[in-house]
Amino acid sequence: MNHPDLAFEIDPQRLLLEGMETGALPDLKPLELAREYAQELAQGSGGENQIVRWWHSPGGFYYEFKQFPAAFYGRSGLVQGQYLTPQEAQVLVWDALTRADKDQADLTLFYTANLMQSDQDFFMVYTLGQMRIERGEARYALPLFMRLKLPQYLLVLFRSNDEYLVFKLPQGQPVLLQIRA
């Protein structure tokens, strides 16, 4: 049984954001073994919408983007999701937008299946080095996917049809790039 304090997480988002800014995609090959392990741990319940698929089980949690599988997240350990009403999901989105501004948290919202074709499809705000970067258009519409990264936890919201599922994932031990496949 996994203990929450011993949970590991694999999160290449920082590498992907740096790559987006420099124009060079990062080499995620060193993370492949950890990624496969995280996928295996998460096999159980799951779901998908137009842009992302996810799995969760008592052993872990994993999501990946359908059109861009390099954008993924995985963690070991017990995770529990919670279904929200549309009103509760709306409050969560409003709170995330406020936290991103007030707490300088990293926030990603995808509103449409077009991902990043126009500014209305997405909103991202994050800090790289000392620079705060904002892309897309912040809207109060309910997204297909939301990711709010705070120092203590990661909050992930998925919308599938008219269902909203949120996971609050405590900070795990990161998988180091030095771990080679």
Digits of tens for pLDDT over the chain (181 positions)?
Answer: 444 446 788 899 989 999 888 888 888 888 888 899 999 999 988 999 999 999 999 889 999 999 988 899 999 888 889 999 999 999 999 999 999 999 889 999 999 999 899 999 999 999 998 999 999 999 988 999 999 999 889 999 999 988 999 999 987 666 544 444 4
**Single pTM value for the model:** 0.88
What is the predicted pLDDT for the residue at 6? 60
pLDDT at residue number 180: 40
Sign of the dihedral through C-alpha 103, 138, 48, 69: negative
pLDDT of residue 120: 94
